[in-house]
Structure 1
Amino acid sequence: MTAPAPTTRRVLLRSAPALVLVALALAGPLLAPHPIDTPVTFPYAGAGDGAPLGGDQLGRDVLSRLLTGGAPLIATALAIALAVTAAATAVGIVAVLRPALGRWIERAADLTILLPPVLAVMLVALAWPGGGRLAVAVAATLLGIPYAVRIVAAAAAPVAATGFVEAAAAGGETLWHLTFHQVLPNLRATLLALFGLRFVEGVYLVSVAAFLQLGPRPPEADWALMIRENAAGITLNPWAVAAPCLAIGLLAIGVNLAAEALAPARPTPETPL
């Protein structure tokens, strides 16, 4: 018996914040009233005509940079979440189905988890030729996999111990079949929650890297970079910092709500037909 599928209304209501922010991020460059690199007012000007959210440290329109700066952050965090979830799913299930290999995988994961994420991102980004957004994304992906593998393995263990999986293994089914046809269909709730968490973690790491001057670089428009650039003038124009902070926070919350809405309420193992 499986958990009831989430209703369409519930899914839409909980997914709405994330969908709106993603749509604005994608359409933002077309909606921006001013070029992102052209000053339109004096530095840290307050909200006024022609600049609804005021100006940044160089007098550029905060609203235009806000509308343009979401897409790179969302794309990077989405790539990190997809890569981590996909890799951890395959490795975690294999670790459960092949216990001898799984013990080595768990030991490697435990050793990697000891390295602080922010420190590891700094080391990889600084050692990467040219640094930049790609270096931060690769570091965040490599660091996220060990945590995710432990979560997937813990969720897959009871499924792998069920009778239908054991019967399929005894019948000579391949590791590929056991992984993708027997175990994986029963992990939807876990994987959706994991994707949401990895997306938020990706946003966090990319934002912290930008604050440390790693990853995106001026004059690029990026929500995380906007926070660092305008921190010194927060008392003059709070919107230069508050607007990207709110956007990042709402994005993280919205994605988690969407992932939760898509997941079954009480998942139980499904016996394949």
Structure 2
Amino acid sequence: MTTAATAPRRGPATGRRRAALRAAPALVLVLLALSGPLLAPHTIDRPVTAPYATADAAAALGGDQLGRDVLSRLLHGGAPLIATALAVAVLVTGAATVLGILAALRPRLGRLVERTADLAILLPAVLGIMLVALAWPGGGRLPVAAAATVLGVPYAVRVVAAAAAPIAATGYVEAAAAGGERLWQLAAREVLPNLRATVLALFGLRFVEGVYVVSVAAFLQLGPQPPEADWALMIRENAPGIMLNPWAVAAPCLAIGLLAVSVNLAADALAPSRTTPETAL
């Protein structure tokens, strides 16, 4: 009989291997999406078969509404989506981390930040993105990414501030402040190292949200425009012919879902184990 004292313990190497295995699908999918244009058998704008044709030797996943190769457009459509979502995730997580830590270390500033965030959260994200994208000269991906970044920061700030508040109130942070450390030193040396799990988990969630926001914007005819290859744009364009060639819609749907799930699992796997401020010393 195996007791708690005699049960084998998973060492750091085992934990790292498990984390690497959970992060591997996301890495493979991202690398495949980024290298997709090099692997595509056809150009994205040249018809190679009949509209909504089923899979054959000329088109492994059949044709879209104009007879273009679905597989080639699928391989081209991942890199722009990933780049946009990654930019949104980095900007939102970075801004929220800075503001959240400052809010925890400076209560007066924290109250102002939290009240501003509460007001900004009341604006529906989709409505805000539509207003910015429609008012932006020329449209495209940039206004969608900018609106998603601005509208994503308030909620993320509340998350970071809530996680940083108990850390900022611990004795070692107060001792460091009494010892003469400046604000940026307190934030970078004392608070931020204890927020690694929260920040990494937040980054994963913001990336997934970025993927979904950009996809919804493209589906609403905001952001990327035809004939650009984009996974969400492919879904909207080929929806009328889903019964003729289901892969024209199913393939980009699966790609978006797998990307979101795999990146979120990778962020959770790579996050360090949560520790209390006392054990982090």
TM-score band by shorter chain is over 0.9
Number of residues of Structure 1 aligned to a counterpart in Structure 2? 270
Is it true that 1:72 corresponds to 2:72 in the alignment? Answer: no
Distance 1:7 1:129 in 2: 50
Match of 2:95 among 74, 87, 93: 87
1:127-206 mapped onto 2 (5 Å cutoff)? 127-206=135-214
- Give the direction of change, closer, same or farther, for the CA distance of 1:26–1:270 in structure 2 (3 Å limit): farther
C-alpha distance after superposition, 1:10-52 (max 9, x if no partner): 1221111111111111110010001110000011011111111
1:45 maps to which residue?
53
2:115 maps to which residue?
107
Distance 2:138 2:56 in 1: 39
Unaligned runs of 5+ in 1: none
Secondary structure of the residue aligned to 2:263 is helix
Unaligned runs of 5+ in 2: 1-11
Q: Percent identity?
A: 79
Spell out structure 1 runs of 4+ moving beyond 4 A: 270-273
Q: Which amino acid aligns with 1:265?
A: S
**1:8 Cα offset (Å):** 2.5
From the CA coordinates, give the structure whose radius of gyration is larger. 2
Which structure ranks higher in relative contact order (CA pairs < 8 Å, sequence separation ≥ 6)? Answer: 1
**1:268 Cα offset (Å):** 2.7
CA-atom RMSD in angstroms: 1.4
Task: Answer yes or no: is the 8 Å Cα contact 2:194–2:280 preserved in 1.
Answer: no
Distance 2:203 2:150 in 1: 15
**1:63 Cα offset (Å):** 0.3
Match of 1:56 among 55, 64, 69: 64
Q: Which amino acid aligns with 2:179?
A: G
Distance 1:180 1:126 in 2: 39
**5-14 vs 197-206, which deviates more?**
5-14
Distance 1:48 1:75 in 2: 31
C-alpha distance after superposition, 1:65-104 (max 9, x if no partner): 0011000000000000000000000000001101001111
Q: Report the TM-score, using the length of structure 1 for normalisation.
A: 0.96
2:33 maps to which residue?
25
Q: Report the TM-score, using the length of structure 2 for normalisation.
A: 0.93
Match of 1:230 among 223, 227, 238: 238
